[in-house]
Amino acid sequence: MRTARLKNLEDQVVVITGASSGIGLTTAREAARRGARLVLAARNEQALEQITDEIRELGGEAVYVKADVGSEDDVREISRVALERFGTFDTWINNAGASIYGRLSEVATEDHRRLFETNFWGVVYGSLEAAKHLRNRGGAIINIGSTLSDRSIPMQGMYCASKHAVKGFTDALRMELTEEGAPVSVTLVKPSGIDTPYPLHAKNYMDEEPSLPAPVYAPDVVAETILNCAEHPKRDVFVGAGGKFLSALGQHAPRLTDRIMEATIIRQQKSGRPPRDRDGLHSPSFGLQERGEYEGHVAESALYTKASLHPFVTGSLAVGAGLLTAAALRQARDGRGRSRSWWHSR
């Protein structure tokens, strides 16, 4: 078995789908700043042209491809342009995605199918195209899943289903490439709620403008995570402790988690503002906007994610937690303390 040896970012050619807004746009700008050469893909050609010009004006190298990742031919064209322009690519980031807000029973079947074409089949087409090129020379495939790859919530049911499917596909692809000895790192990045135009691009069946359930993080945190995985092989990474907590709670106390979701999450996904007539599901929406319109607190960093990306820090945190636990147990045995639930100490 050959281990994936990933290049420094400044020596890489990086493909990014969904590069015209949100996480993709933030990642593209940061990758360019770090010296990567870029192949940017999205449906919004005007936005792609502008971001490509911006990168070139700042001394970077970039090329764009107007592409709908739900089309296998369009995804092949992304690869063709990358090879024609740069002769290779080293990291392929499957980021393009869309959502639908509404009850499953109220959403049109054609919308359900369209969402899967983008969120699932776009990842499949991109991953297999990337693997075809990388399996002999090495590199990274980075698929953007979600906290909702592990735990579903109401009102975005088909989005959750698509992200569950992305996780299953990514895990299977990783095992197959590893078994055949391909030096390819396959990573699933699982963001929590991120302050991007994601709710504004979604197809909305609700009677209010969509919003995001807390906690919400900045897109820069996801971009930093993605680019770390482009240089350092990772299996999967949660972006934000909130997502990790939700996943763990759903695994260990599924019915309790259901009840919490039923009682809180539907309301949290409604902004209180009248709905606007937007639909980025079937056609390109506006671009060149990294942030959305989330009105609550947005975390600009994620200590949990930083720790998970850096083993030394993770080990230090684990040792510290172990020492604190041991001290608490000693105190309890000595009779100088009393048992307290974690939420009572906050």
* First vs last C-alpha separation in the chain: 48
Q: Which amino acid appears at position 169 of this protein?
A: F
Query: For residue 96, which phi and psi values (nearest 5 degrees)?
Result: -55, 135
CA distance 66 to 69: 10
Alpha helices in 215-342 (DSSP H): 219-231, 241-252, 254-260, 266-268, 303-309, 311-333
**Catalytic position from the list 64, 101, 125, 159:** 159
Query: For residue 205, which phi and psi values (nearest 5 degrees)?
Result: -105, 0
112, with CB counted inside 10 A (0-12, 13-18, 19+), is middle
HSE-up of residue 206 (Cα within 13 Å, Cβ side): 25
- Please confirm, yes or no, whether 294 is among the known catalytic residues: no
Instruction: Give the residue numbers marked as catalytic.
Output: 159
